Structure 1
Amino acid sequence: MGQVVTGVVVLDCAEPEKLATFYKEFLDAEESGATANRIEVRSADGLRLAFRRDANATPPSWPRPENSLQVHLDFLVDDLDEAERKVVALGGRPLETKDASGLFEERGYSDPAGHSFTLRRTTDPAPKQG
């Protein structure tokens, strides 16, 4: 078997154009490929996501137990509040808003098609100046 060079996380959704726009804006990514039923984006650090058209796609129901989590993405950010504002402005919504502060603080969200993802703090926040 040959070497696996890279992978792409593919999310099924009813409207790949809309979802690709959400992630392009959120990740400051570029579109790296598109067909009638699939759009791929690549972030500056090389993360590749694709969005495949599936008219019958059913988003996960997490945190409710029916239809469970299926899969979710983790994004590392240095400013949770700023990242949250960007997510919400782009059409995402908070799912789990309990504030577990500290070095490993994280918050749960869903994208406009209902796929869940987590924002995780990458560093311990420095005291605000001024």
Structure 2
Amino acid sequence: MALVTAGVVMLDCAEPEKLAEFYKGLLEGEESEVSANRLEIRGGDGTRLAFRRDANATPPSWPRPENALQAHLEFLVEDLDEAERRVVGLGGRPLEAKPAPEAHEERLFSDPAGHSFTLRRTVSTAPKQG
């Protein structure tokens, strides 16, 4: 039996409720644990994210070095355009600082609190039809 049964990525932010709503919408998830200063959500695929209240939290400044990249999330999606529309509709914003090597395969965004994340197109493993 494994000693550690699950991992949770924790993001510090000034408003955990607001950030949890963004990621619940993106991951089609639900709250799984709530306290005064911490919210945890579980996405439809089992992804677990938590948000801890920090009144002094400052957004990362990536790609500028002043406040560096504190954490970076990557989400696998089948349809980048559809996922981008959802991100923007939920309050995220594109962070295309420079084109990725395969610009059509991944896109960089920030959540409403300024944490960066990537949407990366999944590679189909299904055999070609026809």
Unaligned runs of 5+ in 1: 125-130
The residue aligned with 2:65 is: 65
- Native 8 Å contact 1:106 1:119 kept in 2: yes
Runs of 4+ in 1 over 2 A off after TM superposition: 97-102
Q: Secondary structure at the match of 2:95?
A: strand
1:52 aligns with 2:52: yes
Spell out, residue by residue over 1:56-112, the C-alpha distance to the aligned partner (whole angstroms, 9 max, x if none).
Answer: 01110012222111111000001111100100000000001736346xx11110000
Cα RMSD (Å): 1.5
The residue aligned with 1:41 is: 41
TM-score between both structures, scaled by the size of structure 1: 0.87
TM-score between both structures, scaled by the size of structure 2: 0.87
Spell out, residue by residue over 1:6-48, the C-alpha distance to the aligned partner (whole angstroms, 9 max, x if none).
Answer: 0110000000000000000110001001001111000121111
Unaligned runs of 5+ in 2: 125-130
Following the alignment from structure 1 to structure 2, what is the Cα–Cα distance between the partners of residues 101 and 23?
A: 24
Aligned length: 121
The residue aligned with 2:81 is: 81
The residue aligned with 1:22 is: 22
- Native 8 Å contact 1:39 1:50 kept in 2: yes
Following the alignment from structure 1 to structure 2, what is the Cα–Cα distance between the partners of residues 76 and 49?
A: 15
Following the alignment from structure 2 to structure 1, what is the Cα–Cα distance between the partners of residues 64 and 5?
A: 36
Aligned partner of 1:22: which letter?
A: F
Aligned partner of 1:32: which letter?
A: S
Following the alignment from structure 1 to structure 2, what is the Cα–Cα distance between the partners of residues 89 and 46?
A: 23
